Amino acid sequence: MKPKGKAPSKHHKWDAKNKKWVLKSFEERQKGRPFYLQGKDNPIRQVHDFVRNVNAEKKYRANAAKKANLVKEESKKKTNLKPNLTSKDKEDIRKENELSKVLTSSKKYKEVDAPGPNNKGKKVLQKVNGSGSKKSTPKSTVHTRHYKTGERLGVLTRRQRAKYDAEAAGRTFEGEVARHEKESGHGKKHKRETLYKASHRKKKLKVKPTTTPKKKNKILEGKSLEERKKISKAALKALEDK
C-alpha cells in the first residue's frame, strides 16, 4: 500500500513490490524535459548544465558577500554604542584620571600604549626603571669575605653585622681586589689577593699611633724626692690653679 504524502522528490517513484520509494531510471527522468536537453551526451544539455552551475555559484557568492557586509555593519554599530555611565562610573573615571596625572608628574611613571590588538589608542601607566627606588647595599652573609682581609665573616650578632655593613658600604673583597689591580697595574693575576692584602698591611705600618705627651709639672721640677713628698696633692692643685 502506497503511503500518504508526497514523494521525497520528483525523481522518485513508489515500488509496490519492495514497498519503498526508489529513484526513477534515467529515461523516465528525461521524459519531462525538453527534447533538446534529453540524452547524457547531448552537447546542448551539457552547456545548459554548465551555465546553470555558473549562475548558482554567482548567486551563492553574492549572498555570502551580503552576509559578510551585514556582519561588519552590526559589529561597527556595537562598537560605536556608548555605554550608559552611572554617577559612580563617572566618579571612578575622574579619580583614575587624577591619579594618572599625579603619577606622571612624579616622573616615576610614564604613559605607554596599551598592549593587545583590541586596545588601540588606549594608554596605560608604566613604572620608569631606576626612578624612585633607592639602591640598597647588599647585606653580608655567613660566607661573605671581609673586604679588607678576605676572611669569611662567619656567624655574627645583629649589631656586629650591621656595623660591618655600615663600614663596608657595599664594598666587597672581590671588588676591592679588582680595583687595586686596576689602580696599581701590577699585572700579576695569580697574586691579585696576596698583593691587595700586602697593600693593606703596608698602610697599617705607615700609620703611627699618636700619643699625647705628658705635661711637665713645673712645681716639682728640679726638686728632690724628699721635698716632693712633703708637698701635698691639695697644695699642688692650688699652686697649679694659680
**Prediction pTM value:** 0.32
CA proximity to 183, closest of 58, 175, 130: 175
Q: Give the C-alpha separation, 188 to 7, whole Å.
A: 105
194-228 pLDDT per residue, tens: 888 888 787 777 655 565 655 556 666 667 777 77
Residues 143-160 have a mean pLDDT of 89
Domain positions in the chain: 12-71, 158-205
pLDDT, position 157: 92
DSSP assignments along 113-137, one per residue: EPSSTT-TT-EEEEEPTTSS---PP
Asked whether the predicted pLDDT for residue 31 surpasses 60, the reply is yes
Q: Give the C-alpha separation, 116 to 190, whole Å.
A: 55
pLDDT, position 238: 66
Dihedral sign (CA 28, 31, 37, 38): positive
32-79 pLDDT per residue, tens: 676 666 666 677 767 777 788 888 888 888 988 999 988 888 887 776
Asked whether the predicted pLDDT for residue 158 surpasses 80, the reply is yes
Q: What angle do CA 87, 90, 94 make, to 5 degrees?
A: 140
CA 29 to chain centre: 73
Amino acid at 175: G
